[in-house]
Structures are given as structure tokens and as C-alpha cells.
Amino acid sequence: MKIISVVGARPNFMKIAPFINAIRKHNVNTGNEAIEHLLVHTGQHYDERMSKVFFESLGIPEADIHLGIGSGSHAEQVGNTMIAFEKVLREERPDWVVVVGDVNATLACAVTAKKEHIRVCHIEAGLRSGDMDMPEEINRLVTDRLSDLLLTPDRLSNENLRKEGVPEEKIRFVGNIMIDTLEANRQKAAALDVGTIIRDNLLESRTELPDKVESFSILTMHRPSNVDRKEVLEPIIDFLLDEVCAREVLIWPIHPRTRKQLERFGLWDRVTAEPNLILLHPVNYYEMLKLNMEANTMLTDSGGLQEECCVLGTPCMTLRWNTERPITLREHGGASILVGNAVDKIRRAYKELSQSTRKPQRPELWDGQTAQRCLDALLEAQG
């Protein structure tokens, strides 16, 4: 069997690493027919800190094929990926194309594979936010409609697919592959030192640090709905500086998009002047996991961090009005509260969660063994 796996952006890297390891283990076991595997990196995230560092830290092998797509509008990224990936498929002719998550590369490569009559497997299928203004929701819907094998992270996702008319034989509940990566790297992350992480990743614009960094919260924020309009971003910044930083240290690994918008809106100087706000470059997986392990609270618009907070028990404010991962919410036993980008809701949740204690939760099959179940499902479907 020949498989091409596709990654395009940082959220994909944590999902593909355990799948590649499962293939390696399969191939070294005596009596198993070796799987030929190629890794294609579309290059949707091409910044060294956003891409290369994650490959190295997670032990992902260098991509066999790098499409070098880079930035651009959604249409440009999807179109350019399809053009480049079509050439790869016609040369390699795999049995399966495996796509993960919901980035533009996921959609583009699924469509291209189906047009080339190649079967598609979607890892992390069935997630739904119900928000058609969210580009990722369109990517999820189209990818799942085209996929021959849909591997879901939770039973809520199974129900989403059934309601959409997906045949039962295409659906396999395998668990959350992101948690495989967390469990495989938990000990290494725990051994790291928070102070070292800060010093190694500190933005050049900051030379002074607070006296104490033992107690802190974390912020990550990059979605257009939060950072692309001044009337939304500025009140959030006011709250962070005037209320969160007045109470505790806030560590912010800042996304390039967010920094650009802060500079554009004239907010950058205020942010860099706050002594209790530690601005970092994007950190690697181990470093972010360590920060999450130690944080008092998490403020984030990242889906992956919602999932990690659930398992680690970190009280989490999700800076979105909806989520495709409802199993991470408190009403489903998780650690997260949806707060959107309304400061009043963020403030109430922050006050509530600041008094909370960690309550780790482990949804069904979030056990660190999902990658093997993914591979088993593929082998069964191959026949």
C-alpha cells in the first residue's frame, strides 16, 4: 500500500507525527507488508519558527515533497496547491491520500485526489462549528463529503456525519490523534524550565523581565475575527493590560499576523511597554506544552489548545463565539468556556476561572493510541 500524507500548516504537524510513527512501527514488525509512505508539505506555513521548528521538535522527517505554496488569499492557496499536488499524484499514484485537520491544504488535496480517482482518508473528521463564516468550516464540510474514510475524534463528530448522510461504513471512531502527541511528549515538556523558555524566545523589543514568572497565564490569538479590526482588538488589549496584567504575569507567544495588526492599529507600543506582559516569538511544541502545564489560565482562539487544556485541566477561555470541539467545553466535561471577543464575557470568565483548580478530563479514546487505530482502519479499508 502506498500512502501520501499531507501537511500544510502548524496545526497539522502535531496530528501527522504520531501517524508517521505508527507507519514506522508497522514497517519494522516482521511479517507485515511494508507501507510506502510519502509526506507532502504544501508550505502554507513557511515561516521557520512556524514550520521548521515544529518538524524538528516533533521528530517529523523532512518532507519528501515540498510544494512551497506560501501565503496568499484562500483562493490562491487552494488553487496553487491543487495545481502543484495534481502533478505529485500523477507521478506517484498512491492508493490513499491522508489529510488532517481543516486548513486550506486539507481541502485542496482532498479535492485533487478525488478528481484523480484516489481514495481520501480524513483524520479529525466530523468536527462542526455551524459557522459558515469560518473558512475552516467550509474546508471541513467539503473534505468530509469527499472522503472515503472518515476518522473521528469523538462521538459528537460521528453524530454530525450521520446527520449529514455519511454512510456508517465510512465512519470510524478512533479518538483524538493530537493527544497521542501530547502523551508522547509530556515528560520531555515537563522537564523544561519556564524561565529558559522565556529567555530563548523573548522578542527583541523586550529586554526587561518581571521579577517573578512562577505564576502566570497564557494568551494566544491569531484569528481574523479577533485581530483584523481595531474596534474588536483594542478593547481586548485594554482588558489584558489594565486588568489581567494588573493581577499577574501574562505570557503571549505572538503570531506574526497579530503583531502586524497591533502595529497597524497603533497598539504595539502600548503592548511592549507593559512590564507584566511577556511577548515571545512563536514557541515550539514542547515549550507551549510546558507553559500550558504551568499556566493559571489560558486565553486562546486555538482549537488545538482547547483540546490540550481539556486533558491537562487548564482553565480555558476560548476567544470564539462557537467551537467545532464542543467536547472541550465545561458543559461536556471539559475545561473551556466560550467567551467570543466581548470584553464583558471575557472579564466574567476570567474572574471565575482564576478561582478554579485544575480538573483534567480525558474523553473517550483520548488515550494516546489513536494513530494506531487510524492505521488499522486504513489497512482494513484497503482490504
Catalytic residue ranges: 222
C-alpha cell at 327: 467536547
Q: Where are the beta strands (DSSP E) in 28-117?
A: 36-41, 65-66, 96-100
Helix (H, G, I), strand (E, B) or coil at 51: coil
How many Cα atoms are found within 13 Å in the side-chain-facing hemisphere of 179?
A: 25
Q: Please state, in angstroms and as integers, the Cα–Cα distance from residue 144 to each residue in 21, 151, 229, 255, following that order.
A: 24, 10, 32, 29
Cell numbers linked to 90:
500523477
**322 CB-contact burial (10 Å; exposed 0-12 / middle 13-18 / buried 19+):** middle
And the C-alpha cell for 143? 473534505
User: What count of residues does the chain have?
Assistant: 383
Q: Collect contacts of 157-160 with beta carbons under 8 A, ≥24 apart.
A: 157/125, 157/126, 157/127, 157/128, 158/126, 160/126, 160/127, 160/128
**CB-count burial class (<10 Å; 0-12, 13-18, 19+) for 138:** middle
d(CA 50, CA 55): 9
The 3-state DSSP class for residue 146 equals: helix
What's the rounded Cα separation, in Å, for the pair 253 and 288?
A: 9
Integer angstrom CA distances of residue 157 from 114, 167, 181? 23, 14, 20
Report how far residue 221's alpha carbon sits from residue 203's, in angstroms, rounded to the nearest whole number.
16
